[in-house]
């Protein structure tokens, strides 16, 4: 009865699909967040044991089988921090992209980049 | 100090990264010397690590005194010591070139650049030093997030390239993490040495197969291996000059090292075709990258596609996984880091004095003879002309492919060098024989650029002349434990 794993796999696929199928950069970012969350969920699932409780010692019970594995949880705390930092970085880039090109549609940005490149070179300048 | 040598390089760069923004509040001019001191000290510590390994063999360092497999372990062995010197050494030389006069792209954000560059170096050095799979993921992301910021700091098209880099880089890192999860489920450990002992008992398990595939695909994406190189050309084309001097040289190398370490020393998939896949992807990358490089008129994009081709050589050597091919792949990590840094720095200097990165606007070789000469040395190394470094790594790779009886890969190596001759000829011809663009400043590159560039050119030649010592004393022992 491993159907929770199918949820993780489904979310993973949904995230990948969103990143590939959508041309809007913000939607791609949402896909990326779903993708990362699916992996976090996967790690949560591997720590689960049937009939076990949270990994906080209950008085008198000293048996590893009575507790869920805390290590994947700890790993995912780090992974969540990493995911937050990545998302923050991506949002910062999107804000500056929108300021520079006035759009978050991949095609529109590509068009405007190409239009800029066609113009004669100018001294280095910071667009945003 | 000697006891802490395994972690010293990354502690030094991390300390530098924290100090730079604080010191910059008092004096913005102090940012460059301080960053240079931090990464220079890290490079010296990495060299000390090599001396230590040569004298006393592999050193294992339990971080915080917690014994593995529960604690995190840092390992200093011939391979990690060698790669740490490559990353810290080339990183320092490329930071030199971002000094006074060259940092025009960073008139406002200079201290930010140095802090980010040092964090990125910390990440790369951490990936190299770590003996723990999850710790590698953390350092991988530290390096990646600072790289995204560095690429994006160019503004304009660099932002679009940086966003693509964020999305694809995160997919790569997440695949790696998923693979690590599979292996943890299988064995209950994350320590590399511990895993290497326990995994042979599970060689047929689907979790092992899935873990090996996810880790390989994730790290191959990070090292820009064809056909997963989609993020690389734009990111390295539009990155500002000081960033282009740093990241193309070291970022893909650290990922290649992580792939070599996990695949060949921990997973050892003898019954899976993963290494064969890697070798064939490498062979394809060599040809495709070189053909695409031929068609570029923007010097930076030409160099970026040449990176795709050269990373193919490294992947090919790792995939063949016999001792000769591995020595070639590891030596190519050193050679490609140096020559790609020198070429990007050279192009950056030409753009600084000239009128843009198009090949037609680069004809400044006669005005900037030192820059031009150093670029020729790096170009010779790229093509593989003896006695310059690149020749020897390709020679070992060729011998490795012959030993493995792979005639198609032998041809790929030779054709790749031939194509490199053509695209490097296009670049050097444009620099030396092109019309010098009207309105260009007729002056040699800034002195800081020249110091770094000349040092790299000398190092490229020295690596060629000293290749037998490097291979015999460091790389043969490093290849001994693989597969």
- Residues in B closer than 8 angstroms to A116, CB to CB, are 156-157
Q: Per the domain annotation, does A93 fall within a domain?
A: yes
Q: Per the domain annotation, does A72 fall within a domain?
A: yes
Q: Residue B366: how many CB atoms within 10 A of its CB?
A: 13
Q: What is the pLDDT at residue A120? A: 58
A86 touches chain B (CB under 8 A): yes
Q: What is the ipTM of this complex?
A: 0.90
Q: Per the domain annotation, does A96 fall within a domain?
A: yes
Share above pLDDT 90 across residues of chain B, in percent, rounded to a whole number: 53
Q: What is the pLDDT at residue B59? A: 87
Question: HSE of B306 in the Cβ direction (CA atoms, 13 Å)?
Answer: 34
Q: Per the domain annotation, does A55 fall within a domain?
A: no
Question: Which DSSP string do the residues of B126-169 spell out, in sequence order?
Answer: HHHHB-BHHHHHHHHHHHHHHHHHHHHTT-THHHHHHHHHHHHH
Share above pLDDT 90 across residues of chain A, in percent, rounded to a whole number: 48
Return the ∠ at Cα B197 (arms to B254 and B269), rounded to 5°: 60
pLDDT at B435 over 60: yes
Rounded to whole angstroms, the Cα distance separating B138 from B134 reads 7
Q: What is the pLDDT at residue A126? A: 42
- Residues in A closer than 8 angstroms to B150, CB to CB, are none
Contact (Cβ atoms closer than 8 angstroms) between residue B308 and residue B226? yes
Average pLDDT value over all residues in chain B? 89
pLDDT at B107 over 60: no
Summarize the confidence of residues B319-326 as an average pLDDT.
90
Share above pLDDT 70 across residues of chain B, in percent, rounded to a whole number: 97
Model pLDDT for residues B185-238, shown as the tens digit of each residue: 999 889 998 888 888 888 888 899 999 999 999 999 999 998 899 899 999 999
pLDDT at A122 over 60: no
Query: Which residues make Cβ contacts (< 8 Å) with residue B156, sequence separation at least 6?
Result: A100, A113, A116, A127, A128, B238
For residue B65, is it left (φ>0), alpha (ψ between -120 and 50) or beta?
left
Contact (Cβ atoms closer than 8 angstroms) between residue B394 and residue B286? no
Q: Which of the four pLDDT bands, split at 50, 70 and 90, describes residue A125?
A: very low
Contact (Cβ atoms closer than 8 angstroms) between residue B251 and residue B224? no
Cβ-defined contact of A32 to B171 (cutoff 8 Å): yes
Terminus-to-terminus CA distance in chain B, angstroms?
A: 34
- Using CA coordinates, name the residue in chain A closest to B147: A89
pLDDT at A128 over 50: no
Name the 3-class secondary structure at B61: strand
Cβ-defined contact of A96 to B152 (cutoff 8 Å): yes
* More confident: B242 or B284: B284
Mutation pick from A124, A125, A127 vs chain B, by most beta carbons of B within 10 Å, is A124
Give the domain CATH number at A27.
1.10.287.3510
Q: Which of the four pLDDT bands, split at 50, 70 and 90, describes residue A121?
A: low
Which of B134, B160, B166 minimises the CB distance to A109? B160
User: Which of B434, B412, B437, B438 lies closest to B425 in space, CA to CA?
Assistant: B434
Q: Residues of B at the A interface (Cβ-Cβ below 8 Å)? A: 104-105, 108, 134, 137-138, 141, 144-145, 148-149, 152, 155-157, 159-160, 162-163, 166-167, 170-171, 173-174, 177-178, 181, 184-185, 355-356, 358, 361
Mutation pick from B103, B120, B155 vs chain A, by most beta carbons of A within 10 Å, is B155
Rounded to whole angstroms, the Cα distance separating B153 from B158 reads 7
Q: Per the domain annotation, does A32 fall within a domain?
A: yes
Q: What is the pLDDT at residue A61? A: 79
Q: What is the pLDDT at residue B103? A: 55
Q: Which two tokens stand for residue B71?
A: 């604690």
Which of B104, B166, B181 minimises the CB distance to A90? B166
SS3 letters for chain A?
CCHHHHHHHHHHHHHHHHHHHCCEHHHHHHHHHHHHHHHHHHHHHHCCCCCCECCCCCCCCCCHHHECCHHHHHHHHHHHHHHHHHHHHHHHHHHHHHHHHCCCEHHHHHHHHHHHHHCCCCCCCCCC
Cβ-defined contact of A110 to B160 (cutoff 8 Å): yes
Cβ-defined contact of A46 to B108 (cutoff 8 Å): no
Dihedral sign of CA atoms B458, B464, B465, B468 in order: positive
Q: Which two tokens stand for residue B344?
A: 């990007």
pLDDT at B55 over 50: yes
Model pLDDT for residues B110-164, shown as the tens digit of each residue: 788 899 999 999 999 999 999 899 999 999 999 999 999 999 988 888 999 999 9
Q: What is the pLDDT at residue B106? A: 54
Q: What is the pLDDT at residue B251? A: 93
- Residues in B closer than 8 angstroms to A71, CB to CB, are 184
Contact (Cβ atoms closer than 8 angstroms) between residue B150 and residue B276? no
Could you give phi then psi for residue B322, rounded to 5 degrees? Answer: -90, 160
pLDDT at B277 over 70: yes
pLDDT at B109 over 90: no
Which of A71, A82, A93 minimises the CB distance to B141? A82
Which of B105, B163, B355 minimises the CB distance to A121? B355
Q: Which of the four pLDDT bands, split at 50, 70 and 90, describes residue A127?
A: very low
- Residues in B closer than 8 angstroms to A113, CB to CB, are 156-157, 160
User: Which of B470, B279, B464 lies closest to B390 in space, CA to CA?
Assistant: B464
Q: What is the pLDDT at residue B128? A: 94
List the domain range (segments joined by +) for residue A109. 3-49+68-114
Contact (Cβ atoms closer than 8 angstroms) between residue B46 and residue B78? no
Q: Per the domain annotation, does A124 fall within a domain?
A: no
Q: What is the pLDDT at residue B433? A: 86
A7 touches chain B (CB under 8 A): no
Summarize the confidence of residues A88-95 as an average pLDDT.
94
Give me the residues of A, 27-46, that contact B with CB < 8 A.
28-29, 32, 35-36, 39, 42-43, 46
Summarize the confidence of residues A87-112 as an average pLDDT.
90
- Using CA coordinates, name the residue in chain B closest to A128: B155
- Residues in B closer than 8 angstroms to A75, CB to CB, are 134
Q: Which two tokens stand for residue B42?
A: 């890290």
- Using CA coordinates, name the residue in chain A closest to B108: A126
Which of B108, B159, B178 minimises the CB distance to A96? B159
pLDDT at B431 over 80: yes
Q: Which of the four pLDDT bands, split at 50, 70 and 90, describes residue B440?
A: low
Q: What is the pLDDT at residue B108? A: 53
Model pLDDT for residues B346-405, shown as the tens digit of each residue: 998 888 887 778 887 787 878 888 888 999 999 999 998 888 888 999 999 999 999 988
Q: Per the domain annotation, does A120 fall within a domain?
A: no
pLDDT at A36 over 60: yes
Summarize the confidence of residues B442-457 as an average pLDDT.
85
Q: Which of the four pLDDT bands, split at 50, 70 and 90, describes residue B104?
A: low
Contact (Cβ atoms closer than 8 angstroms) between residue A18 and residue A34? yes
Structurally, how many domains does chain A consist of? 1
Model pLDDT for residues B334-358, shown as the tens digit of each residue: 999 999 999 999 998 888 887 778 8
Q: Which of the four pLDDT bands, split at 50, 70 and 90, describes residue B420?
A: very high
Q: Per the domain annotation, does A82 fall within a domain?
A: yes
Q: Residue A118: how many CB atoms within 10 A of its CB?
A: 7
A25 touches chain B (CB under 8 A): yes
Cβ-defined contact of A97 to B185 (cutoff 8 Å): no
């Amino acid at each position: 009865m491993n159907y929770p794993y199918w949820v993780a796999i489904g979310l993973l696929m949904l995230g990948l699909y969103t990143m590939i199928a959508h041309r809007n950069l913000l939607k791609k970012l949402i896909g990326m967040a779903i993708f990362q969350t699916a992996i976090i969920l996967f790690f949560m699932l591997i720590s689960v044991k049937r009939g076990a409780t949270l990994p906080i010692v209950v008085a008198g019970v000293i048996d590893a089988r009575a507790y869920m594995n805390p290590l994947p949880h700890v790993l995912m705390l780090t992974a969540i921090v990493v995911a937050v930092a990545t998302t923050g970085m991506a949002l910062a880039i999107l804000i500056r992209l929108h300021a520079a090109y006035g759009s978050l549609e991949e095609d529109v940005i590509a068009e405007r980049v190409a239009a800029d490149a066609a113009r004669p070179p100018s001294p280095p300048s910071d667009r945003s | 100090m000697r006891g802490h040598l395994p972690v010293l390089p990354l502690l030094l760069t991390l300390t530098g990264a924290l100090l730079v923004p604080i010191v910059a509040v008092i004096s913005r001019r102090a940012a460059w010397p301080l960053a240079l001191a931090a990464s220079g000290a890290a490079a010296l510590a990495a060299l000390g690590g090599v001396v230590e390994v040569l004298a006393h063999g592999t050193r294992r360092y339990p971080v915080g005194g917690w014994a593995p497999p529960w604690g995190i372990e840092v390992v200093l062995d011939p391979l990690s010591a060698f790669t740490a010197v490559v990353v810290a050494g080339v990183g320092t030389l490329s930071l030199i070139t971002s000094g006074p006069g060259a940092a025009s792209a960073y008139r406002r954000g200079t201290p930010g650049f140095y802090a980010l560059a040092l964090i990125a170096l910390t990440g790369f050095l951490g990936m190299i030093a770590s003996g723990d799979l999850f710790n590698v993921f953390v350092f991988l992301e530290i390096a990646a997030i600072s790289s995204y910021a560095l690429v994006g700091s160019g503004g304009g098209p660099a932002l679009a390239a940086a966003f693509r880099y964020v999305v694809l880089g995160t997919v790569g890192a997440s695949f790696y993490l998923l693979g690590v999860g599979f292996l943890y489920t299988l064995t209950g450990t994350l320590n590399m040495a511990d895993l290497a002992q326990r995994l042979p008992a599970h060689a047929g398990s689907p979790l092992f197969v899935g873990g090996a595939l996810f880790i390989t695909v994730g790290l191959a994406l990070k090292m820009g291996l064809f056909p997963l190189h989609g993020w690389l050309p734009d990111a390295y084309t539009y990155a500002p000059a000081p960033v282009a001097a740093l990241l193309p040289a070291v970022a893909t190398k650290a990922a290649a090292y992580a792939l070599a370490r996990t695949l060949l020393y921990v997973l050892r998939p003898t019954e899976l075709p993963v290494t064969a896949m890697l070798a064939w992807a490498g062979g394809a990358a060599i040809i495709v990258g070189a053909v695409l490089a031929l068609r570029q008129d923007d010097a930076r994009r030409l160099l970026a596609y040449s990176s795709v081709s050269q990373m193919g050589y490294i992947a090919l050597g790792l995939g063949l996984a016999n001792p000769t091919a591995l020595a070639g792949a590891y030596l190519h990590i050193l050679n490609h880091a140096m020559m790609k840094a020198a070429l990007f720095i050279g192009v950056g200097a030409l753009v600084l004095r000239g009128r843009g990165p198009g090949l037609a606007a680069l004809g400044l070789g006669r005005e900037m003879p030192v820059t031009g000469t150093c670029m020729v040395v790096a170009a010779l190394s790229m093509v593989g002309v003896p006695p310059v470094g690149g020749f020897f790594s390709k020679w070992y790779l060729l011998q490795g492919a012959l030993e493995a009886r792979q005639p198609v890969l032998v041809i790929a190596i030779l054709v790749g060098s031939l194509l490199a001759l053509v695209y490097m000829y296009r670049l050097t011809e444009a620099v030396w024989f092109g019309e010098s663009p009207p309105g260009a400043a007729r002056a040699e590159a800034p002195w800081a650029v020249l110091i770094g560039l000349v040092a790299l050119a000398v190092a490229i030649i020295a690596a060629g002349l000293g290749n037998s010592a490097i291979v015999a004393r460091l790389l043969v022992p490093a290849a001994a434990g693989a597969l």
